[in-house]
């Protein structure tokens, strides 16, 4: 159903939404794993799954902990590109960002067998949510506001 005066119609498509959520989770963990591995190579440290899910390994007390936090922040920027290319709607960036991080919180909860309780983890997640949502929304809105060409006929060089 399309309402008058609306540029884009929105159709409820659960398969599309679930596919986009799964794709964003894949991008989130794939890129986070790459960032962790790349940054760990720089400090000569062996990457581990604990860096992704063990929230007690985040902090400012060692280079390794700071590097892991940097991987999460860089991952937010990478995931903002995922929002641009696969979600493409500025209005949905916050929704998908919060969903990705909610699933990550549940993953941490299951991995550690208890709810994330460190202030560092929560602050990092809020920073990452803000960075990913704002950057993704900015990128999506920039493309949404591009001029729409009125002349669809091909140009002729006479």
Q: What are 70-126's pLDDT values in tens digits? A: 999 999 999 999 999 999 888 999 999 999 999 999 999 999 999 999 999 999 999
Is residue 76 in some structural domain?
yes
C-alpha 11: how far from chain center:
24
Taking the C-alpha atoms of residue 20 and residue 82, their distance in angstroms, rounded to an integer, is 10
pLDDT at 146: 80
Is residue 134 in some structural domain?
yes
Q: What is the mean pLDDT of the chain?
A: 90
Is residue 127 in some structural domain?
yes
Is residue 3 in some structural domain?
no
Is residue 57 in some structural domain?
yes
pLDDT at 117: 92
3-state helix, strand, coil in the chain (%, to 5): 70, 0, 30
**Contacting residues for 54 by C-beta, under 8 A, at least 6 apart:** 108, 111, 112
pTM of the predicted structure, to 2 decimals: 0.85
Q: Which domain holds residue 101?
A: 18-142
Is residue 112 in some structural domain?
yes
What is the domain count for the chain? Answer: 1
Is residue 138 in some structural domain?
yes
pLDDT at 145: 84
Taking the C-alpha atoms of residue 115 and residue 35, their distance in angstroms, rounded to an integer, is 25
């Amino acid at each position: 159903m399309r309402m008058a005066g609306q540029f884009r119609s929105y159709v409820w498509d659960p398969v599309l939404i679930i596919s986009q959520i799964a794709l964003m989770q894949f991008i989130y963990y794939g890129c986070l794993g790459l960032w962790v591995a790349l940054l760990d190579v720089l400090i000569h440290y062996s990457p581990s799954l604990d860096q992704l899910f063990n929230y007690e390994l985040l902090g400012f007390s060692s280079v390794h902990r700071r590097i892991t936090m940097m991987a999460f922040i860089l991952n937010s920027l990478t995931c903002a590109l995922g929002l641009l290319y696969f979600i493409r709607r500025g209005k949905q960036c916050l929704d998908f960002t919060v969903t990705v991080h909610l699933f990550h919180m549940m993953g941490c909860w299951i991995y550690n067998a208890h709810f994330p309780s460190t202030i560092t983890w929560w602050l990092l997640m809020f920073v990452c949510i803000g960075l990913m949502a704002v950057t993704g929304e900015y990128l999506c809105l920039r493309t949404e506001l591009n001029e729409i060409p009125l002349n669809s006929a091909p140009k002729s060089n006479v």
